[in-house]
Amino acid sequence: MALYIGANYHPHDWDKERWKTDITLMKQAGFSAVRVGHLCWDSFEPEEGQYNFAWFDECMDLFAEAGIGVVVDVSMRPAPVWVHKLCPGCNIYSKGGGMQPSIHRYMEDVADPAYQYYALRFAEVLVNRYKNHSGLFAFGLCNEIGSGAKSFSPQSRQRFIQWLKHKYKTVEQLNNAWATRRWCRRLTAFDDVVFPENELYLGAPEAWLDMRRYFADVTGDFKIKLKETVESCGISVPHSSNHYAEFETNGFDYLSIYDKFVDFPGMGFYPGYQVSEKYQSMMSIYHQRLAETDKPMWLLEFQSGSEGWHHGPYGAVRMMAMLCLLNRAQMILGWTWRTMLAGEEQYLSGILGHDGLPTVNYKEYRQIAADMEKLQEYAFPYVPVPDVAVAYSYDNDYVVQYGTRYYKQTYSHTKTEIQKVFFHLNRDYNVISLKNRKHDYKLLILPQYVLMSEEEAGAIRSFVEDGGTVIMTAYSAVVDEHSQAFPTPRPGRLEDVFGIRVAAFNRTGAEWMEFSEDAKCVEDENGKHELLRVASDEEFYIDVDYYEELELQTATAYAAFPDKDLCAVSVNEYGKGKAYYVAAETNVALLKWLITKLTPDLGLQSGLRVPEGIQARVIADGQTFYVNTTGRTIEIPLEGKGFGVLSEKEYDNVLTLGHYDAELICGNNMERQ
């Protein structure tokens, strides 16, 4: 398989006379792909049913002549002004019930049937026109679906009511699920339902969770309809999408439906210029998008400059690209080709400047293209088969968002902490849905798995019974599928699998706490708090806010908090497998230690022994890829001689990688951790 490098291009923003110049510059940079057609529905259909494709035909022909493959984005967002006129139900309404003028991108309710009619009709017309074009490489399923605002319109409320009727059948069942006996919220009819969120307050957690599920479902349903519309046209090329399922104020439940619309997983990737918290957060989303597709990632948007920064330190964008190749990427398309002269992204720096001349970003992308041309002759794209899975749930995110008085660690932060664990271990992992698991794994990790439905509990139980090993962290199995707390011992529905009872919880920085003289404490913006000492066959400290008191039933202690006389990690044999419970919030140091300890017993794939700051993978027998993520030169021990594909140099026992540099070494064998 090949690797693809290029940019996002907006021909409707530039004079036709400029197109050939831009395409020539792309060819000179070594670009092989370009994404075109997004964010410009009204350039194709300026009025309802009146189409103008002549300009795009010319553009497609020019790219075909240049041998640059085009990803044609099927653009349905933002909706044209004429769509908002014809489809008042697609307009966004505020929590207070006021209609909001469409002054910003993504201000359309994609669940509106009238909007869907015009959007999917346009998709069908566009796809049929270009599905056989010689320049076509792939289709993009619209831009960033999932982002934008929720609509609290009267039409949306009626759809919400119908969604509830379908789910609960009777008002009595809805009342039970929403615990409406509390504080006089009992409903007498489905028509009594209003959105449980207004300008002053959020409603009860049970109702609010269902509202978030409703918005997720209608957005996900539209995404599936788009995929079905595109494929019904008889296309013979692949498709992808840089949707925005993880958008915290909207989004949709990607892991439950990705197999219904994903061909190649895709996303927009803006990690900044350092391996920072932002990078790790982006990579947690990245792995969620990969899911269990068993296909490489298409980065349909990739950072060039940013707003307020023309470029980062030279080599940093290339380093990020190499890290993505190490993490299963196949396509990298820079955002954007030329810095926009107008609009909301006027100062988001591109590969070319406002003046249309190459910048330092162009030079760096040209280097990335040259590297990818060499690497594609080897075992890229790298698509491993991980033996570890991390289970995430869309519902967990919203339970945690609602319950901030208790859940001090956000779910997005939890996902980022898990990403850091595998980053430091130099290992691959898959992100899965317990309701939609496709592969077998040796180890399943359940970080902050707050909401535990019967279906999810059954999946965990079966996994362990059949010989699997699970690790669950604190803050887990607190509420049921209606976001109501379990009236039984925690972890709810799984206390026998883990062999424990969560009897109480503590916080390391409680305001009434008196720290002993020998307590190891730190102080930050949240005040003074204690580091917890963990002891097993070795000792180390962890920096957490929250930890739990475990009563061991059939489980035994695997590690302790000796200063608290509490169990830190328990282990229970259940069926043919084992269940470990970590009595602290998701923490990098503790999970790194535990996974490393379990690796030989479970026969897990181990990472390479490399200096700190280096990411590395064996991508095939005799092929090891290294990326220096730091701004300093690092020497990496090799076992024998090897050939550097990118540098075209021979190495003997030592590889010296400059700052932000990368290298594929052929012929050496590295020691694993």
Q: Tell me: do 584 and 621 sit in the same domain.
A: no
Helix/strand/coil for 42: helix
> Both tokens of residue 246?
């993880």
388-391 vs 430-432, strand pairing mode: parallel
CATH of the domain at 332: 3.20.20.80
In 31-153, alpha helices (H)? 41-44, 54-66, 81-86, 113-130
Tally of domains in the chain? 3
Spatial CA neighbour of 601 closest among 422, 443, 466, 459: 443
Would 469 be classed as within a structural domain?
A: yes
Q: Tell me: do 504 and 573 sit in the same domain.
A: yes
Tracing tokens 């293209």 back to the chain, one arrives at: 369
User: What are the helix and strand counts (H, E) for the chain?
Assistant: 17, 28
Q: Tell me: do 350 and 400 sit in the same domain.
A: no
Q: What phi, psi does 95 have (nearest 5°)?
A: -60, -30
> C-alpha dihedral over 510, 514, 520, 521, to 10 degrees?
50
Q: Tell me: do 24 and 67 sit in the same domain.
A: yes
Cα atoms in the 13 Å half-sphere on the side-chain side of 213: 18
Tell me the residue range of the domain where 250 lies: 4-79+101-148+218-375
- Domain boundary, last residue among 572, 602, 632: 602
Q: Tell me: do 550 and 627 sit in the same domain.
A: no
- Domain boundary, last residue among 344, 375, 406: 375
DSSP 629: -
0.95 exceeded by pTM: yes
pLDDT tens-digit profile of 340-394?
Answer: 999 999 999 999 999 999 999 999 999 999 999 999 999 999 999 999 999 999 9
Q: Is the dihedral of CA 399, 405, 406, 410 positive or negative?
A: positive
The confidence score (pLDDT) of residue 515 equals: 82
The confidence score (pLDDT) of residue 23 equals: 98
Q: Tell me: do 359 and 302 sit in the same domain.
A: yes
**Which residues lie closer than 8 Å to 16 by C-beta, 6 or more apart?**
55, 58
Spatial CA neighbour of 16 closest among 51, 43, 46: 43
> Are 580 and 596 a contacting pair, CB within 8 Å?
no
Q: What phi, psi does 297 have (nearest 5°)?
A: -80, 140
CATH of the domain at 500: 3.40.50.880
Low-confidence ranges of the chain (pLDDT < 70): 668-673
- Write the DSSP string, 151-212: ---HHHHHHHHHHHHHHHSSHHHHHHHTTTTTTT---SSGGG---SB-SS-B--HHHHHHHH
Q: Tell me: do 460 and 357 sit in the same domain.
A: no
Would 232 be classed as within a structural domain?
A: yes
Q: Tell me: do 401 and 371 sit in the same domain.
A: no
Across 86-118, b (16+ Cβ under 10 Å) vs e yields ebebbbbbeeeeeeeebeebbbbbbbbeebbeb
> Are 118 and 226 a contacting pair, CB within 8 Å?
no
DSSP 435: T
> Both tokens of residue 439?
């592969």
**Which residues lie closer than 8 Å to 252 by C-beta, 6 or more apart?**
145, 146, 215, 216, 217, 219, 220, 223, 243, 245, 394
Would 671 be classed as within a structural domain?
A: no
The CA–CA distances, whole Å, from 404 to 200, 409, 568 equal: 17, 8, 24
> Are 318 and 158 a contacting pair, CB within 8 Å?
no
CATH of the domain at 657: 2.60.40.1180
Q: Tell me: do 290 and 410 sit in the same domain.
A: no
Q: Tell me: do 479 and 582 sit in the same domain.
A: yes
Would 160 be classed as within a structural domain?
A: no
Q: Return the amino acid letter for 111.
A: A
> Both tokens of residue 106?
């993504």
CA atoms of 389 and 440, how far apart (whole Å): 9
> Are 6 and 68 a contacting pair, CB within 8 Å?
yes
Q: What phi, psi does 547 have (nearest 5°)?
A: -145, 160
- Domain boundary, last residue among 349, 375, 401: 375
The confidence score (pLDDT) of residue 672 equals: 58
Q: Tell me: do 280 and 402 sit in the same domain.
A: no
CA atoms of 74 and 122, how far apart (whole Å): 8
Q: Tell me: do 261 and 410 sit in the same domain.
A: no
Across 265-279, b (16+ Cβ under 10 Å) vs e yields bbbbbbbbbbbeeeb
Across 346-359, b (16+ Cβ under 10 Å) vs e yields eebbbbbbeebeeb
